Structure 1
Amino acid sequence: MIRYLSRSEVAAILGVKPDTLNRYNLPEPDAMIGRARGWLPETIEAWDASRPGRGNWR
């Protein structure tokens, strides 16, 4: 079974509040269910590792 991360879960992984995600240029979601977006953990991990600033120190 494939499990997608919600915005709240993405925020928790990144160590920010969910509203802060509005300032980020997140990658395209891996899934859409209605208006809800979902990301695979590896999508968020790769994006975080490659983003300028904070993401590069991990």
Structure 2
Amino acid sequence: MSRRYLGVKEFADRLGITSGGLLNLTLPEPDAYIGRTRGWLPETIDAWNEQRPGHGGRPGRNAK
């Protein structure tokens, strides 16, 4: 079975921001390269997002 890597657009979509919004962030090292194209595993993005200050999962963050 092949692994599914997410590109920059899908990375941004997963965070709910635009691709341009990624320009202000220090992204994690890609899990793969195809030529010059970077790819990340979904779990890499999720773990990185959880560790960003002010982002990720915090208790009560999404409470309404």
TM-score by length of 1: 0.91
* Same amino acid, percent of matched pairs: 55
Name which one, 1 or 2, has greater alpha-carbon Rg.
Answer: 2
- Residue by residue over 1:24-53, the C-alpha shift from the partner in whole angstroms, topping out at 9 and shown as x without a partner, is 111000001111000000000000001101
For these two proteins, the number of residue pairs brought into alignment is 58
* Structure-2 residue corresponding to 1:27: 28
Gaps (5+ residues) in structure 2?
none
Letter in 1 for 2:55: R
Q: CA RMSD in A?
A: 1.3
Unaligned runs of 5+ in 1: none
- Give TM-score, length-normalised by structure 2: 0.83
